[in-house]
Amino acid sequence: MPLPAFIRALPAADIPVPEDLVTTNAMQSEDGLIVFFTIHKDMEIPPHSHGPQWGMVIEGRFELTMNGETRVCTAGDSYDIPAGVEHGAKLTAGTILMDVFAEHDRYALRR
């Protein structure tokens, strides 16, 4: 199920991933950033770290690796990534995620 039209109408986040792999829709305030990620092709996000992040799988599945431990997250699962914790992911085509970042400027928005 695609995201509702009002979410798809939100601006894109300026992420370093080609749009044929993933599209984004985001909302930003001075307190944080919410990004909806729609994955179009299987892809891998290499290990990295940043400020606190919380997310939820809306549809599909992906593998999340934190501190060397991997778990499979499916629709309805949430995950909490504390600040500075190294993490990476293997994302499956068709997956839709919602990530909330404490860093309001984690990604700029494309208007």
- Whether residue 1 has pLDDT greater than 80: no
Instruction: Specify the pLDDT at position 66.
Output: 97
Q: Which domains does the chain have, with CATH numbers?
A: 5-106 (2.60.120.10)
Using CA atoms, how far apart are residues 13 and 27, in angstroms rounded to an integer? 9
Q: What is the mean pLDDT of the chain?
A: 96
Instruction: Specify the pLDDT at position 73.
Output: 98
Using CA atoms, how far apart are residues 41 and 27, in angstroms rounded to an integer? 24
pLDDT, one tens digit per residue, over 26-73 is 999 999 999 999 999 999 999 999 999 999 999 999 999 999 999 999
Using CA atoms, how far apart are residues 93 and 5, in angstroms rounded to an integer? 20
pLDDT-derived band at 111, boundaries 50, 70, 90: confident
**What residues have CB less than 8 Å from 68, skipping those under 6 apart?**
none
